[in-house]
Amino acid sequence: MKELEDKILEKGQVLNHDVLKVDSFLNHQVDSQLMYKIGQNFYEYFKAQPITKILTVESSGIAPAVMTGLFFQVPVVFARKHRSVTMNSDIFVADVYSFTKKVNNKISISKNFLQSSDNVLIVDDFLANGQAIAGLTDIINQAEATLYGIGIVIEKTFQKGRQMVEQQQIPIKSLARIAGFQNGQVIFAEE
Amino acid sequence: MKELEDKILEKGQVLNHDVLKVDSFLNHQVDSQLMYKIGQNFYEYFKAQPITKILTVESSGIAPAVMTGLFFQVPVVFARKHRSVTMNSDIFVADVYSFTKKVNNKISISKNFLQSSDNVLIVDDFLANGQAIAGLTDIINQAEATLYGIGIVIEKTFQKGRQMVEQQQIPIKSLARIAGFQNGQVIFAEE
C-alpha cells in the first residue's frame, strides 16, 4: 500500500536494529484517514471470504480493526491484555509474550462474543514474532471458530512471525512489508 | 441519539444500581457502523469549532474517537494507561482514579503530539465520575493547549462528572444520557 509506505518513510523512526516507531500515525497518535484506507484495503483483499467477525488486540489494533469492520459490516472484538487473569469460565484466555517489553501477558475474549459458527479475520498493527497472532489463534481454536485470514498493517519480514503464519497455511495480507533497516532507513521487501 | 438509545435498551445490561455493561457494542465487541454515526454526530455538534486534535483514553475511547477524527480530518491521540510511570521529560502525565476497579492509574501522552497551538475535542465512551476527563484536562493544561469541547457516548447524569464539567464551563455533548436504572431497566434523562 503505497500511501502507507510513504507515511512510514516520512514519519517512522528507526530506533535500533529492529524497532520501528510509528506512534505518530498508528500506535499513539492515529491518522483516521489512513486507518480508513487500511480498512478498505483489507476489505478488498478478503471480501470474497464469508467473514463474520474481526478480532484484534488492544490498544493499537483497535483503530485499523474498527475501520475494517466498517467495510465488512461485521462486529469487531478486541482482546483485552492482562498481566495475570484469574480462572474464569466466561472468557477464553491465551498467553502472549512481548519481546519488546519482555513480559508475559495474557489476553482474553469473552465467550459471549466468539462462537463456533464465527468466520474470523484477524487484524493487527504489527507482525514481528507473531506472538499476538499465536494468542488470538489459540483463542479461535478454543472457541472452535474458523480463521479465514490475517490482515497486518506493518510486517517485519525478518522476524519469525511470517514463517509461523505460513506454516499454518493461513492467508495473510500485510500492507507494508519491511525487509530490514539500513543506516536508519527502512528497506521494504520486494512484492 | 435515537439509534444509540435503542442499542442501549436492546443490548445494555444493568448489573446493579449504577453499572451499565455495554461490552457487546462499545467496550469489548465494537459496532463499527454505530461508531461511525457517533463520530458523525460529534462532528455535527462541534464542527463550528477550530478543532485540531481529538484526545481520548485507551482502550474503549479509541473506536468513537477515531471515527470522530475521520470526520474532522484531524489526528487522534489516545492517552496510555499505566499502573505507575517513571518520571520522564518526554510525556505529560496525570492521575485517573477508577471507581469501578478501585485503583489509581496514571495516563500519559507524548509531548510530541500535543502542542500549545492545539484546539482539543475530548471524546470518551463514558462520563460517570469524570476522572478520565479530569486527567485529560490536566494534560491539556500542562501542554497549554485549548479545550474546546467534550463528546461523550454515554453519560450517567446521576454521577458527579457532569457537574464537574459544567463548573468548568466546557461545552459538552452526550449522545445518550442515563438518569438512572429502575428494575433493571435504563431510564434516559429528559432532553
Q: What is the mean pLDDT of each run of 10 residues along chain B (191 residues)?
A: 97 87 96 98 98 97 98 98 78 89 90 98 96 97 98 95 92 96 91 65
| pLDDT-based confidence at residue A66 (cuts at 50, 70, 90) | very high
pLDDT tens per residue across span A120-133: 999 999 999 999 99
Is pLDDT of A84 > 80?
no
Please state, for a pLDDT cut of 90, what percent of chain A lies above it: 86
Pairwise CA distance, residues B6 & A117, whole Å: 26
Average pLDDT, chain A: 94
Report the alpha-carbon distance of residue B65 to residue B43 in Å, rounded.
11
Domain A2-188 of CATH type 3.40.50.2020: yes
Q: How many Cβ pairs closer than 8 A exist between chain A and B?
A: 98
Q: Where do the domains of chain A lie?
A: 2-188
pLDDT of the residue at A87: 67
Bridge partners for B93 per DSSP: B108
C-alpha cell at A121: 479475520
pLDDT for the residue A104:
86
B69:A112 CB<8 A: no
Question: pLDDT tens digit string along B56-74?
Answer: 999 999 999 999 999 999 9
Q: Tell me the mean pLDDT in the region A2-23.
A: 92
CATH class, range B2-145+176-188: alpha beta
pTM score, whole prediction: 0.96
Residues of B with CB under 8 A from a CB of A: 23-25, 28-33, 35-36, 58-59, 62-63, 66-67, 69-70, 73, 75-78, 80, 109-110, 112-113
DSSP A46: H
CB atoms within 10 A of CB A89: 5
